[in-house]
């Protein structure tokens, strides 16, 4: 994370943590995937990821790897 984006960590951390489930609930569903998608979107909005260069990779590489990790 670039230094100038560190102030946003407080707001985006719950999206990332929510993407991997909850200690209180033992299920996994579309809400978790939506949380991960929101996390990725915030990285694009913060310009940590570049929409012109990283959008295809986010859709075809990052998101499928996220699903593979959770389903394996």
What confidence tens digit (pLDDT) does each residue in 18-57 have?
Answer: 888 777 776 667 788 899 999 999 999 999 999 999 999 9
Question: Which pLDDT score, from 0 to 100, does residue 70 have?
Answer: 78
Question: Which pLDDT score, from 0 to 100, does residue 60 have?
Answer: 95
| 3 belongs to a structural domain | no
Question: Which pLDDT score, from 0 to 100, does residue 31 have?
Answer: 83
Question: Which pLDDT score, from 0 to 100, does residue 35 have?
Answer: 93
| 2 belongs to a structural domain | no
Question: Which pLDDT score, from 0 to 100, does residue 68 have?
Answer: 87
| 29 belongs to a structural domain | yes
Say which residues have a Cβ less than 8 Å from residue 33's Cβ, sequence separation at least 6.
19, 66, 67
| 49 belongs to a structural domain | yes
Q: Domain range spanning residue 39?
A: 8-71
| 22 belongs to a structural domain | yes
| 36 belongs to a structural domain | yes
| 1 belongs to a structural domain | no
Alpha-helical (H) ranges within 1-72 are: 9-18, 30-45, 51-57, 63-71
């Amino acid at each position: 994370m670039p230094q100038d984006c560190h102030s946003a960590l407080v707001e985006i951390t719950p999206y990332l943590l929510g993407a991997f489930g909850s200690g209180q609930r033992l299920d996994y569903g579309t809400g978790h995937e939506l949380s991960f998608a929101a996390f990725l979107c915030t990285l694009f909005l913060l310009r940590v990821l570049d929409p012109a260069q990283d959008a295809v990779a986010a859709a075809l590489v990052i998101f499928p790897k996220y699903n593979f990790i959770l389903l394996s």
